[in-house]
């Protein structure tokens, strides 16, 4: 029996401008050259990474970077620590720098704070590429934490400056700020969350309430994917997280359901189109 699903893709979903910029730079080079090295996954979406590696993108890590000489290497939107630029000089590497302007601005602000001898706390995901780049501005001296509980057992200075990874939840950031103030700390809080990400919260809230079921498409590694999926789930309990078409399950749907598709800032539109086509064939 055909389910006859009415499927709509959220127009506000899909790549943020930082990711679009990085991917366009990679594609422009790969149109004229056989291969291009990229330091880390160009975007936290395995399907899009595969599409680009099939075109000649070669994903490398920092250890492999150290062994390259005289090559072109793309710096993705997440940005890099100063040590990467130093290594590029030493190894005669040409860096194609696609660092997101929002991330670069944040890196500069953190570096200025550090140069002014401020103690820096960064609300961010441990080991995330952007956070590693931010911490690099402080010679590794910033305190990185994912949630408040991590700070409970830590000796914090009485006075410090708080920053955030650009893709974190604004609500959580302000909750953390209020909690730290209530504990008696003197702090300067800098809301450095990208508005292209945080504006999606409101867009999604308004989008997901119009549908019986929501399919949220995102890579498992995407930080903002987790944040945005939580927003979907909060406002529509029938929301499902998938990374590709193969993860769709027919038993999620009833005949004639209205289904909304949305995604992270790292989710390509072509992938959401594929999901739409699969749902319409159910």
d(CA 251, CA 225): 24
The DSSP bridge partners found for residue 123 are 145, 164
d(CA 176, CA 254): 41
Q: Are 87 and 66 in contact (CB under 8 A)?
A: yes
Cβ count within 10 A of residue 176:
22
- Name the active-site residue from 130, 150, 202, 273: 130
Helix spans in the chain (H): 17-30, 46-53, 62-65, 82-90, 101-115, 129-136, 149-152, 170-182, 195-208, 223-235, 269-281
Helix spans in 34-91 (H): 46-53, 62-65, 82-90
Answer yes or no: 150 catalytic. no
Question: Which residue numbers are catalytic?
Answer: 130
């Amino acid at each position: 029996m055909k389910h006859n699903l009415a499927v709509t893709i959220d127009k506000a979903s899909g790549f943020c401008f930082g990711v679009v910029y990085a991917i366009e730079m990679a594609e422009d080079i790969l149109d004229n050259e056989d291969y291009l090295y990229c330091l880390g996954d160009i975007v936290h979406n395995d399907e899009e990474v595969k599409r680009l590696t099939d075109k000649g993108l070669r994903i490398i890590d920092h250890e492999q970077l150290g062994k390259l000489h005289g090559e072109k290497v793309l710096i993705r939107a997440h940005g890099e620590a100063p040590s990467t630029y130093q290594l590029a000089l030493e190894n005669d590497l040409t860096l194609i720098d696609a660092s997101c302007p929002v991330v670069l601005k944040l890196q500069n602000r953190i570096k200025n704070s550090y140069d002014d001898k401020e103690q820096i706390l960064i609300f961010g995901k441990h080991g995330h590429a952007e956070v590693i780049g931010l911490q690099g501005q402080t010679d590794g001296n910033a305190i990185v934490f994912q949630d408040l509980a991590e700070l409970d057992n830590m000796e914090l200075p009485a006075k410090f400056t708080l920053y955030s990874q650009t893709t974190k939840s604004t609500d959580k950031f302000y909750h953390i700020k209020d909690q730290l103030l209530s504990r008696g700390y003197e702090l300067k809080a800098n809301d450095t969350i990208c508005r292209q990400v945080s504006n999606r919260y409101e867009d999604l809230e308004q989008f997901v309430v119009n549908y019986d079921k929501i399919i949220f498409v995102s890579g498992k590694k995407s930080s903002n994917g987790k944040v945005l999926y939580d927003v979907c789930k909060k406002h529509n309990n029938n929301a499902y997280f998938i990374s590709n078409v193969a993860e769709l399950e027919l038993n999620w749907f009833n005949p004639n359901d209205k289904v909304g598709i949305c995604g992270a800032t790292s989710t390509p539109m072509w992938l959401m189109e594929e999901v739409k086509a699969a749902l319409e064939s159910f």
